């Protein structure tokens, strides 16, 4: 009789270990393997079925990926002409290639007088106006009415920015 009781206890213990192992495998599958495009993952193990919500990669709604892999920002707000402290920024383009985000623009001195080299910050923002990152940059000395170009770079991918602000230092 004691032998029967021990066998039952051993059987229950083994079933408990198998159940714990099955739960561990389900969790592992969901977190490591189950990166599906839809928002849910369903896993079935015998009589047990689990449906779990899954995080997706954020949608890049302001990005067009070119054939060479370059990400090109398509936000109309980002491309709008901007005027700050006697400078006008036009022909604005934001791209990301090989983990380098690059902002280029034509800059015209519209102040009516010569300007010395000017340092400023470029603050990229998302659709809600939250700051994503700040790039430091400068414009060389310009004469009144003169046009120059701006190129500012930063590491990591910020090509999906909605807009940017220019803050003269």
Q: Give me the DSSP letters along 10-73.
A: HHHHHHHHHHHHHHHHHHHIIIII---SSSEEEEEETTEEEEEE-PPPPP-TTEEE-TTS-EEE
159 and 73 in contact (C-beta within 8 Å)? yes
Write down the pLDDT at residue 32: 59
Res 165: pLDDT: 94
pLDDT score, position 50: 53
* Residue spans per domain, the chain: 2-53, 63-168
Tell me, what DSSP letter sits at residue 167?
Answer: E
Instruction: Please give the structure tokens belonging to residue 25.
Output: 């495998």
Q: What is the pLDDT of residue 49?
A: 55
Q: Map residue 151 onto helix, strand or coil.
A: strand
- pLDDT for the residue numbered 43: 52
- Report pLDDT for 34: 46
**In the 8-state DSSP scheme, what is residue 101?**
E
Question: Chain centroid to CA 123: how far?
Answer: 15
Question: Which CATH architecture describes the domain 63-168?
Answer: Sandwich (2.60)
Tell me the pTM: 0.64
Query: Which residues make beta-bridge pairs with 2?
Result: none
- pLDDT by residue for the chain (169 residues), tens only, comes to 566 777 888 888 888 888 887 787 777 766 655 444 444 545 555 555 555 554 444 578 889 888 898 999 999 999 999 999 999 999 999 999 988 999 999 999 999 999 999 999 999 999 999 999 998 899 999 999 999 999 988 888 889 999 999 999 8
Strand partners, 94: 103
Q: Which residues of 41-67 are buried (b: 16+ CB within 10 A; e: fewer)?
A: bebeeeeeeeeeeeeeeeeeebbeeee
> pLDDT at position 37, please?
42
pLDDT score for 47? 59
pLDDT at site 80? 95
């Amino acid at each position: 009789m004691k032998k029967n009781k021990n066998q039952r206890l051993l059987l229950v213990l083994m079933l408990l270990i198998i159940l714990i192992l099955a739960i561990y495998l389900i969790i592992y599958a969901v977190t490591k393997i189950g990166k599906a495009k839809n928002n849910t993952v369903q896993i079935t193990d015998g009589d047990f079925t689990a449906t779990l919500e899954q995080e997706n990669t954020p949608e890049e709604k302001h990005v067009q990926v070119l054939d060479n892999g370059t990400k090109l920002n398509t936000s109309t707000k980002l491309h709008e002409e901007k005027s700050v402290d006697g400078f006008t920024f036009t022909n604005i383009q934001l791209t990301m290639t090989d983990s380098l985000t690059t902002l280029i623009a034509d800059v015209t001195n519209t102040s009516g007088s010569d300007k010395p080299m000017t340092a400023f910050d470029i603050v990229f923002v998302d659709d809600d106006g939250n700051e994503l990152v700040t790039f430091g940059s400068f414009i060389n000395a310009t004469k009144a009415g003169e046009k120059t170009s701006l190129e500012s770079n930063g590491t990591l991918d910020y090509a999906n920015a909605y807009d940017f602000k220019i803050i003269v230092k």
